[in-house]
A = this chain, B = another copy of it.
């Protein structure tokens, strides 16, 4: 079993873009843009999956998974994504940290099947 909101990923290695951010109180289309960015990312070559959560205090972590650094670079250069990042700086975020990492090993566990899926 592999329930939402978990990303179903291949065996490592692959890449993770870890984005942690504190939101401002400004909405102004944030939700729709965030949804659109996920939808658009899913269409990009090399996109593997995404997991995302935001707490009530406005602090959130999104981890997007990609099959290569080239795929990450191409997504970074995507015009609509670039415009969204500019709005993020202008309006939506107080602070953010972005870390790009190479996933070496992965391990999953589910109460239902009690079977671990080990990768890498």
Contacts and interface: CB of A to CB of B under 8 A. Distances in A.
Interface in A83-115: 89, 93-112
Question: How many A residues touch the partner, as a band?
Answer: 35 or more
Name the prevailing secondary structure of the A interface residues. strand
A29 interface: no
B111 A106 contact: no
24 contacts: A1-B95, A3-B22, A6-B97, A7-B97, A16-B16, A16-B18, A18-B103, A51-B61, A51-B97, A56-B56, A89-B111, A95-B109, A95-B111, A96-B108, A97-B106, A97-B109, A98-B106, A99-B103, A99-B105, A99-B106, A100-B104, A101-B101, A102-B102, A102-B104
